[in-house]
Amino acid sequence: MRSAIHVDPQAGRPAAPAVRRPAWAGRVRRRYRWLSLLGGAVIVVMTYFPLVFVVSNSLKSGQNIFRSGVFSLFTQFDYQNYSTAWSGVSRPLANTLVVAAASILLGVTAAAAGAYAFSQRRRSQPGSARVPGAGHGG
């Protein structure tokens, strides 16, 4: 009895034999597909609910939050909350930006100066990586 070997003309090598799955495998895959879709939907809801919750409550007035409840969506836009929050945050935010910019500038300048100094250093022996004064006794 001869077995036929199928050769893939594009690859020039024998093709992998077709795998025959049992009849129940399709039902199991469909069941797990619904389970994975349900799990994905739960993850999406758990991810986006806090975002919707915060944005919705930020657009409500104080009276509207107490009247309609915390978990209800906003019914009217109240942008006053954003201007009130910005007035309390603008000065500390500006201070933070100044301190961060100064520390980044100082850090990059020090790192560049150190890198230049190491690049201009001549080694006493080829292949030696000892740095004088770095605790290696030299």
Tokens of 49: 């609910």
Please tell me which residue, 64 or 54, carries the higher pLDDT value. Answer: 54
Calpha distance 49→41 (Å, rounded): 12
With CA atoms as reference, report the closest residue to 77 among 54, 58, 63. Answer: 58
> In this predicted model, what pLDDT tens digit does every residue of 22-45 receive, in sequence order?
766 677 677 788 888 899 999 999
Measure the CA–CA gap between 80 and 133, rounded to whole angstroms.
61
**The two structure tokens encoding residue 108:** 């990059």
Give the per-residue pLDDT at 138. Answer: 46
Task: Give the Cα separation of 5 and 132 in Å (integer).
Answer: 69
**DSSP element (H, E) containing 94:** helix 80-120
Q: What percent of the chain has pLDDT over 70?
A: 71
